[in-house]
Amino acid sequence: MSTLTSTYPRPSSLAQIFVSLVAGSALFFLMLLLLVLGYQVAYLGRIFPGVSVAGVDLSGLTPAQAAVRLQQQLTFPLNGHILLRNGSQAWMATPVELGLVLDSQASVEAAYRVGRAGGLFRRLGEQWRARRQGVLLPPVLLFDQRVAYAALQRLSPLIDQPAQEASFEIQGAEVLARPGQIGRRLDIEATLELLTRQLQRFQDGEVQLVVREEMPEVLDVSAQVEAARRLLSAPLRLVLPNAAEGERAVWTYEPQVIANMLSVRKVKEGDRSQLQLVFDPTLLRQGLESIASEVNRSAENARFYFDDETRQLVLIQSAKSGRTLDVDATIQAINQALIQGEHTVNLVVHETPPAVTDNATAESLGIRELVGSAVTYFYGSSQARIQNIQTAAARFHGVLIAPGETFSMGKVLGDVSLDNGYAEALIIYGGKTIKGVGGGVCQVSTTLFRAVFFAGYPIVERHSHAYRVSYYEQTASGQIDPGLAGLDATVYFPLVDFKFVNDRPYWLLMETYVNVGARRITWKLYSTSDGRQVEWNTSGLLNVVPAPKPRFEPNPDLEAGEIKQVDWAADGADVIITRIVRRAGEVLFQDEFRTHYEPWQAICQFGPGTKNPEKRAKELGLCQNP
């Protein structure tokens, strides 16, 4: 019988093996622990192996030793070179001059913290990685941007150049120009950003300065200068379009005059500005307003007379369009021509057509018959006074008044001056009868007043004379009729005017006729009668005040013994005239005209050496009260 032996270990053997394994592991970990502890003890207060800052190995060094080493080997802040460049310009600076310094203490502290931060395994892992692979830390740098900013500011004056505006001016008739220049400015903020990046590299390098160009608003004025020179090369001609024969059509300004009127202004064209040569608006406006006084005119209706036989209108003066110089538009036209270098510019004129043209007919205007007339006499008038009567009356011959229009005698009469054909004659001015231009015009205004009065037209403005004038109370025989007192009217435009209203639905035509031989002026009114009738009454002379005694005064300009009467006596008085205008028995309107005449003194002047001038005047029939 054979015996079987088992190959499995006995329980006691297994226990022994387990104990051995545990003991071996414990021994291994114990040895490892001792090794780790020994490593920690070996580098207690020292930087672990493999740790460097900016390439400087600090393994095994104490923080103090490491700080010394860093200061010795990391000299870039003190000895480095940073080149600041702007094109061909360059400036060298050390990092420390730009505000960069090494913080060796902070750099060492960062190196010392390697392997000593975090949990156990993190620490051991960092220590292992440092020993096996090495840990390269950047240096801790302190960069004071204020220092760098100040350094760049010191460079600014060497780089900055202000933009220069192009300009030009006119001296005499010459145009002087100065070209524009592009400006430059160091952009410190942008440059500081580039500089910061370079210093952080902790190595020598070059930094391109950021320089911005600054464009002037106006860089080039060559075109404007050329235009100005072209303009001043010839006179400027302002032309009146469609000028009639005999009218002034051209106003010429020589280059020197033009130069004095020019100015330079800045104008915006899109996002750019340009200098523009323009006429000084104030000076140009003054010149154009002077031209306007010659150019402007009111529209003038055609003038006619009414042929009593054919009952048709006969043209005596053609109509004229009104004309107004548009000063603002002309200024624009001149400035536009200035830009284009043109020397001839049309004045901008607006025309207004007349209400009545040459082809108007009596039927179209409602003129069918004589509706009013008046006659006054001027016996004893001087030749100058007669000339003034003729001149003033001619202004109204053939004039038409529109339905509903308020007619102003003063506006049609115009300027009473020597230039307009008037002569010097006796006038009432400032409470005296003196010699002045236009004496006799009131003969015309008085005649119109009476024609309008008796034709039944409403009168809105009428002024009497200061004293009774014999001319206005004369009859056809040359006698004085006091019943005509209060039927006079004076005009001294624009202060004193005579106005009435054409209140009929028809045009009113005025005709004036002066018969010098008969010393008579006749005023006719033509329209269409609406059947109105005029009743009037005069109070006669009221509150009569006798004229003062004559006054005699010397006049050294008279001949010896000569006596001359310069003013005539007139009793003062009040007159009230009433008028009632009826149609078909119905009162259309009524009005009252009150007149106050001052008593007037006769005045005689006598030459040097005249004896007893009062007696001499009486012998001659001068200065005798009524």
The helix (H) or strand (E) run that includes residue 587 is: strand 586-597
Residue 1 has pLDDT above 60, yes or no: no
Which pair of structure tokens corresponds to residue 392? 């003033």
Which residue would you say has higher pLDDT here, 298 or 229? 298
For 188, the 3-state DSSP assignment is helix
Provide mean pLDDT across the span 486-506: 94
For 56, the 3-state DSSP assignment is strand
- Which tens digits make up the pLDDT trace of 524-544? 999 999 999 999 999 999 999
User: pTM score > 0.95 for this model?
Assistant: no
pLDDT of res. 98? 92
Which residue would you say has higher pLDDT here, 617 or 402? 402
Provide mean pLDDT across the span 469-497: 92
| Amino acid letter, residue 144 | D
- Which tens digits make up the pLDDT trace of 278-307? 778 888 899 999 999 999 999 999 999 999
**Looking at the chain, which residues constitute the CATH 3.10.20.800 domain(s)?**
222-352
- Which tens digits make up the pLDDT trace of 304-335? 999 999 999 999 999 999 999 999 999 999 88
pLDDT of res. 517? 95
pLDDT of res. 9? 57
Closest by Cα among 281, 253, 241, 250 to 265: 281
pLDDT of res. 20? 72
Rounded Cα–Cα distance for residues 510 and 305 (Å): 8
- Which tens digits make up the pLDDT trace of 44-98? 989 999 999 989 999 999 999 999 999 999 988 999 999 999 989 999 999 999 9
CATH number for the domain formed by residue range(s) 222-352: 3.10.20.800
pLDDT of res. 422? 82
pLDDT of res. 73? 92
Which pair of structure tokens corresponds to residue 51? 């740790």
Residue 253 has pLDDT above 80, yes or no: yes
Rounded Cα–Cα distance for residues 304 and 311 (Å): 12
Provide mean pLDDT across the span 127-145: 91
Residue 582 has pLDDT above 70, yes or no: yes
Residue 350 CB coordination number (10 Å): 12
Q: Please, what is the average pLDDT of the chain? A: 88
Which residue would you say has higher pLDDT here, 6 or 179? 179
- Of 153-167, 214-228, 332-346, 441-455, least confident by mean pLDDT is 214-228
